[in-house]
Structure 1
Amino acid sequence: MDLLEYQVKEWFGKIGIPVLPSQRIDHPTDLKRLKIRYPVVLKSQVHAAERAKAGGVRIVETTIDAIAAAQTIFNLPIWGELPEVLLAESKYDAKQELYLAVVLDTALCRPVLLGCKEADIDWETAGEKMEYVVVEQEFSPFYARRLALKLGLAGTLMQSISAVIEKMYQLFIQKDLDLVEINPLAISVTGQVMALNGKVRVNERSIGRHPDIAEMAAKINSTHRPGEVNSNLGNWDGIELHGKIGILGNGTGSVLATLDLVANAGGKPGVCLNLRHGFQTDTAKTTFCDRLNRSLQILAADRSIQVILLNLLGSISQSDEFVEIISKFLQQDKSELKSSSVRSNGSKSRRESYFPRLVVRLAGSEFNAARKALASLKTQGDTLILVENLDEAVAESVRLAKSTTYKK
């Protein structure tokens, strides 16, 4: 989960990284009560890059100009994203700009300090321009000074920038982050350093351990429709495609393998969710069955999904609750059909229902009890299809999705 700039600046200020006076703007009229002296920089608060090139960053000299610029920026989509908030910030004259970051290197399984004498670069593609220091043991100021020396800094400037790097690492550890970035870190003619822009990427597994981050995640979740919730998941926990077959699995491998099989069989995969891990937006600990229930509701709310393919391998610790969730989901289907029939005086058929069918594949001896219980459920038509072979489950899902007798 990436934070917006104004949120990053709040964290920077609290931990002691120097930031400019700024003010959050929720509506253009808020600029009438601006507490910052002009000239002021107005910044669109979106996750998309290249805001300045798109016109999302404006320098203004007066209140009238600021209000007019804010109205324009609020209505300016950048890579399809409209800002809900702007950031008003004091203008800063920089003599020199640097790039600094602390990133989790997944190959080394260690934090790495990054620095470059050039700003406005991408740390993943900077190549030889980027200096780095691997934090191999418990962090000490030595690591920060070592990076500053590699950047060719000396004297008081080396001390100032080393102190900023230390604060960045402190924030990185405190909040369980994957990335803390200052781009650029500006240096004035007097040697004062200032974080002009920053980026923070939260490790999704850590959200539940931090109430303030969990609250942010919940707000993100509340601003999306049920069918869009998956866009807030990490890449390994969800894939958002636009086909007719939703896929649920209890492992990354099983989800991706099922997706490939569906595509190879001529089907169109839709939203794919991994039930092994909690959602990024979960604010408390969840069980497998909690995630199963929520995932079924997410897919059922997406009207592009015609079939849900549930592929589970190994075992689950809540077999009885698992069966109960599936049963309630099927009852929800019957309620949908009944209400549809009442509204149309009995003339409405299943093909006009907006509820997906469910294909369940359970692999493993520990699923025997659950399999027997599901087989005994009284379902209407082919609402529930229970199979043991994955190829058969995929074939049934593709057949149902292509069926001309069932279209949403």
Structure 2
Amino acid sequence: GGELSFNDMAYLGASRASKDFGLELVEVQSTTEADYLPNLRTLAKSGEYLVIVAVGFLMTDAVNTVADEFPNQFFAIIDGYVEKPNVLSVLFKEHEGSALVGALAAMIAHHYGYKAVGVVLGMEIPVLYKFEAGYYWGIRYGEKIYQEKTGKSITPLKILYTYTGAFNDPARGKIATQSQLGLGAGVVYNVAGATGLGIFEAVEEYCKSSGKTQGPPFAIGVDADQDWIKPGFIIASMMKRVDVGVYTATKRALDYYAGKIDKYGGILALGLQEGGIAVSTLEDLDTFLQIAIQAGRQVNRDEIYNKVKAMRESIPSWMWDEISKLADQLKTNPAGVSIYGLTFKDIADKIPYTSESIAQVRSTLKVGVEIVETTTTTPSPTPTTTTTPTTPTPTTTPTTATPLTTTGAPDYTVYVVSVVIIIIIAIAVLALLKRRK
């Protein structure tokens, strides 16, 4: 994946597992959703794989089907939930990391005198509501921290959000971000996969147009440590350690065959406490730069590292300390931290989110403006920006004749162009295979 995020993290975990456990790694890419089922079936039929790891929410239905057809094959799905004894559902507590970067965004915006903060999202699917809820809560909590630390009275920030309807369309990400920057956003959070590359570009261009060599305004990266992509303009990344998920799914299959655990399936929920979610650090940056160099990219490690370090040091150091403190509170006592009458435990308890429950959170936390994108049939969509008053519309209906399913959720097949990787861990140890049959 060119964005060095979700799929790259998955691959990283798989390659670490193959090295540590002496397994062979096979990687299969699906170019469209129609490939998911046949790809999974082919792999499961061979009976050669210890575990088949499907990466991404969009593969849920395919895994559900194939897991029934091959009850003796282990599957893991990253970011999806399939209730089968032979499927491990690896879910992340994205709301936790999103709360931390939300608090950081709010403190930075107030520090530099911005009026708003924003988030640009991909497709409107339930997993993204978790990012939204955590981020909004974090913004409001960050404002409280800012007031306590500085003794200044503040006007609450406007919170802007845009669903672009795509995870692989940097042009849409850029347009959405330009709108938000135009409305006074000091920080924009990328929750849009490769669409987010457009977010980074928009922020960099906006800064450079006023003669700045670094933010503010800043972007926030997602999934991987993306701070290196536009050094000086991405203040931090909300890292979702998909690599930890893939690695754990593999180890769990080995543990099962070794008789250490008695069942494979279930839910593996990874958050701050489990090392599955983190806000990027300079150490993470170094790791990612090394990966980029190993992948044959032309990157100047020292130059990038120094730029990111200088950017991080340009904001008051107490802000970073407060983020660490908040992380500890979210881990140990989520019911003890509250803002606008919502504890962080309340945010977590609403999972899985629906369009109704996220609308409720938006309204409680006074998320005022949704920028509705109207998707046209032209290849490069130009969204019109309309700002609605304090009650946001929960869903954005594209203007093209996109069929809406009976549940009112958009038909994802219309949008999905992005490549989803299926990672397979092939086993070199025949003894395990014999034991399974």
TM-score between both structures, scaled by the size of structure 2: 0.21
Greater fraction of residues in helix: 2
TM-score between both structures, scaled by the size of structure 1: 0.22
Q: Which has the higher contact order (CA 8 A, sep 6+)?
A: 2
Larger Rg: 1
